[in-house]
Structure 1
Amino acid sequence: MELNSVQYYCQRSRMLIERAKKLLTEDSDQDAERVKPNRNLTKLIQEVADGANPEGQLLAIQEIRTELSLEDAPIQEMIQKGLLPVLVECLKGNNAEKLQFEATWALTNITSGSSDHTTQVVAAGAVPHFVELLKSKNMDTCEQAIWALGNIIGDGPLLRDFVIKLGVVQPLLHLVQPNMISSVVCNVALVIGNLCRHYDPPVAKETVLELLPTLEILMDHSDTEILRCTLWAISFLVGGGEDYIQVMIFSRLIPKIISYMGDKEAIFRYPAINAVENILTEIEEPNEMTGDEEIRRIAIRNQAWMVVLIRGGLVSIVREFLKSGDPREQALAVRAMSNITIHCNQDQILILIKRNIIEPLCDLLTYTFEDISKEALKVLNNMLKKSRSHLQKVAQTIFECGGLAKIEALQVHFDEEVYLLALHIIETYYTDEI
């Protein structure tokens, strides 16, 4: 089960844009009929620039916008003929709403082209006007501005940070209101996802703190598409590293993310799994070069994260994943259990026993996938090692689940690491009769 989350997210974003474009324009068929392929583009652009003839100006910009919507749109040719400054001029607040809308749409189509096309739109000075149009009372124009800004932000960290510096965040987040139409909120969620995508460098922490309250609101939204986009945004966000996970850990989002890991709908399950995987990837042991103070800090951080994940319901989800039969889910589950058992204390080991985690781990000891089987053995060893005053309870539970017999069988395994670990467990914890 393979998942390229960024490609899927961007593909869905483009699909939403195209679908919404059709919904926004009732006269799209008439627009298509008005297109004249042999029309002189230079003359058409001149007509758009002619503010003295508003009717002709509107018809011309509609023709340009329609041509830019075509699969083989002459984007570069229009740019070379001077279209961009003309369209940017039409964005200004003293123009008619219909003209602003058509200009915004045309520029959105251009930003859907290549990275170079997007950069040229930015260089023409369109971004400040798009940001201002987020406050427009005309929701069609506002929505087009959201799409354009989403395309620009999604181009990469340089343009992302440029748009943020021009003040996009607050007017964008202000659109998430209880009475706002779902399509607008959905596209805001898509743009937030582009802001959070883990580029190098990732988005500034200050921006993340601005986004967090809105992400919490969006996670409670009843619209499935909005929720899906929000889960992906969070997944991208926690992929940015320790600082971003730390922000998320102290939010109220972790239990909700974990709950969606077990959702029957794959559109929710995949981004939730991806988010938790990103968190678990950051929970690791310090290397040999790490100083004592840094080791202590990492240990405290890891323990704090594990407490939040356990309290958030991760163990219950992990147990279901261990039993699922899906190799990807089982691999995630044993890796999660490895991190939990490395960093938890003896009382948390007891919680794991009460959550019936040992039986599915024992079932994986002779699994077809050797890496998963080996990791399950390591997890059981961690539990025995960390259990201390609960050692007898852990050893007895492994025995009752048939784990001891399987561990004994692993003493003749072809993998040296496996049979040595199996031998260690037997000699260290089962020398006395259970």
Structure 2
Amino acid sequence: MNYTNKILTLLNDIKFQERKVWVDHLKVVTEQLQKAFEQKSLVCDEFLIASLADLLIAVFPFSSDPSLNTKCQDIIKLIFEILPSSLHDNAELRDALRIKLLETLAILIVFNVQDANLLKIFSKAEVDAAKESTNPTTKKVEEQLPILVADIYSADYEVTLAATTGLRKLLAIERNPPIKEVVKAGVIPRLIKFLEEKDRYALQFEAAWALTNIASGTSEQTRAVVEHGAIAAMVPLLKSPNSDVREQAVWALGNIAGDGTKCRDLVISHGVIPTFVAILQSSFEQTVSVIRNTTWALQNLVKNKPFPPFEVAKQALPIFAKLIYSQDEEVVVDSCWGLSYITDYPDFQIDYFLSLNIFARILELMNHTSHSIKTPSLRVVGNIASCDDHIAEKILTPGLLSNLSALLNSQKTGLIKESAWTISNFAAGPPSQIQMIIDAKIIPQLITIVATGHEDSKREAAWALVNATSGAQASQSDYLVKAGVVESMAEILKTTSTVAALVKELLKALALLFAKGPNNKKYQERFIKAEGIKLLDQYRDHMDSEITQQAIDIISTLKNNSEHLEALLDTMSIRAE
């Protein structure tokens, strides 16, 4: 049986197939290679080697699909372990194989795909040379670009396709891609014209990819793509029968939308959100890569202030509610970020959000092993907590507070900051919410963060303590003071760079604390012992007159109520008025 011809036919066919059927084709290729090696019936020549290397180049950039990646690895094993041994009598072909694989390595590096099997068979010098080869010099770009630009206007389809592919590869180089030069060459209208070439999926795909790379540049370069009508040309491709073309259109529109609110709103105005949702709803027909890219693009359409109207983003909520149950971490991360943006909208409809039963899953994700998932999940909770007290009380449970308490002990500063911020929102609520925070034993954690935490975490923990102190009932105030809140507030006042808004609220909280309850004089004494008077004095000449007056008023209160204050003031050489 002529295995060689059969394998070559399969290798040629796979280049023209959609990625969703690559797994089956790769399986057949692997089986045929294995049989050919076992029966020693493979005619191995430079053409076969080149075809196998081309296959790796075609498949690897998209090998995020676990099943596809496994098949790639099977073929790599055959190429690297079995093929060389079959060439033990042919030094020329062995050398050809090595050279071709080194070229393959260089191309795969462009896609940031550095497979261990490839890397381990080459020396460090060879790998470094391959990396360097992926970054053409300015001279090489200057030589290649005019040729590609000329060919892109050819009447010959094959020449045009090759030129478009060449442009796309130039735009994909890792360091200093020549986006500016390509834009200046005036090829954007031509590339957009290629998007309209029905049934020429390869050309549509390459043109869309090249435009995607241009749109990933500066805002000015993104605008150049938009102003030539790329959005309107990309939208019909979202319904292309070719999945690669559909995915590339999604990617391009996601890049454009991510450039800022103006571009985002232009993409939205073309009605793409329902189309993105439809793609994700048929996820069982899609590759992992399509689902990831579409989820990412969709969350780009609902982010950035000023936000679009909630009614626009509302279209995405049900699918995000579904995607947060995905087994793919990237999909969950982008879905959670999408939810975090929407829950921050000024016209956010919390009742609709809660009707989708999203919140229970968000609580689960707060305990996820991935910090990338924990952070946006936590942001969702914090945003909802900042809604009115009625809504905050609906979601505040011992289970949620337990999650927040655990996150305050995280090694990640960002998670500690987000958790403290979320707690501060709940602490700004009624005494019932403050009591739940007390019962969860979170106050001592906040006090520790104020004393030893990172500056950002310390500020959010301070807000939580200030909010709790301001709204506390008398018995709760006793607990807070015994726990060390007064000393924490003194600690915050030591930093004169503390934001004015926090200082104002802190001084208001102190004034309330010193004025209420049967133990208010004990509270005052604790503040004095923490050098509170001295700390307040540094705010007497603050640039904000409101803070100055607050500091003077509290000093006056302490002076009138403390029999020891006069002596203390004399010792510290502090003025009292």
TM-score (norm: length of structure 1): 0.72
**Which of 205, 214, 219 is equivalent to 2:324?**
219
Measure how far apart 1:184 and its partner are.
0.7
Q: Distance in 2 between matches of 1:37 and 1:138?
A: 32
Measure how far apart 1:106 and its partner are.
1.4
Structure 2: state its 5+ residue gaps.
1-56, 64-71, 73-99, 111-132, 453-457, 494-505, 523-577
Provide the residue aligned with 1:119 in structure 2. Answer: 223
Measure how far apart 1:208 and its partner are.
0.8
Distance 1:331 1:164, change over 3 A: closer
Measure how far apart 1:276 and its partner are.
3.1
**Which of 198, 201, 218 is equivalent to 1:97?**
201
1:32-181 equivalences under 5 Å are 37=141, 39=143, 41-51=145-155, 53-70=156-173, 71-176=175-280, 177-179=282-284, 180-181=286-287
Provide the residue aligned with 1:7 in structure 2. Answer: none
**CA contact under 8 A between 2:408 and 2:419: conserved in structure 1?**
yes
Q: Distance in 2 between matches of 1:90 and 1:327?
A: 48
Matched, 1:258 2:372: no
**CA contact under 8 A between 2:398 and 2:436: conserved in structure 1?**
no
Provide the residue aligned with 1:23 in structure 2. Answer: 61
Measure how far apart 1:212 and its partner are.
0.9
Matched, 1:382 2:485: no
1:33-432 equivalences under 5 Å are 37=141, 39=143, 41-51=145-155, 53-70=156-173, 71-176=175-280, 177-179=282-284, 180-200=286-306, 202-243=307-348, 248-280=353-385, 282-283=386-387, 302-310=388-396, 313-321=399-407, 332-333=418-419, 335-344=421-430, 346=432, 356-357=439-440, 359-362=441-444, 364-365=446-447, 368=451, 372=461, 375-376=464-465, 379=468, 382-384=471-473, 398=479, 405-406=482-483, 417=507, 423-424=514-515, 427=518
Distance 1:229 1:312, change over 3 A: farther
Q: Distance in 1 between matches of 2:414 and 2:330?
A: 25
Provide the residue aligned with 1:8 in structure 2. Answer: none
Greater C-alpha Rg: 2
Measure how far apart 1:329 and its partner are.
5.2
Q: For 1:153-191, what per-residue CA distance to the aligned partner results, in whole angstroms no more than 9, with x for missing partners?
A: 111111111111112112222111241211111111111
Q: Distance in 2 between matches of 1:409 and 1:128?
A: 61
Amino acid across the alignment from 1:77: E
Measure how far apart 1:224 and its partner are.
0.8
Measure how far apart 1:41 and its partner are.
4.1
Structure ranking higher on relative contact order (CA contacts 8 Å, 6+ apart):
1
Distance 1:413 1:170, change over 3 A: closer
Distance 1:234 1:429, change over 3 A: same
Q: Distance in 2 between matches of 1:178 and 1:147?
A: 16
Measure how far apart 1:136 and its partner are.
1.8
TM-score (norm: length of structure 2): 0.56
The count of corresponding residues between Structure 1 and Structure 2 is: 376
Distance 1:329 1:56, change over 3 A: closer
Q: Distance in 1 between matches of 2:158 and 2:413?
A: 62
Measure how far apart 1:218 and its partner are.
0.9
| Superposition RMSD in Å | 4.1
Q: For 1:255-301, what per-residue CA distance to the aligned partner results, in whole angstroms no more than 9, with x for missing partners?
A: 32233233332111122223333444x44xxxxxxxxxxxxxxxxxx
- Counterpart secondary structure, 1:368: helix
Distance 1:211 1:329, change over 3 A: closer
Q: Distance in 2 between matches of 1:241 and 1:21?
A: 45
Q: Distance in 2 between matches of 1:172 and 1:326?
A: 34
Identity of aligned residues (%): 25
Distance 1:153 1:331, change over 3 A: closer
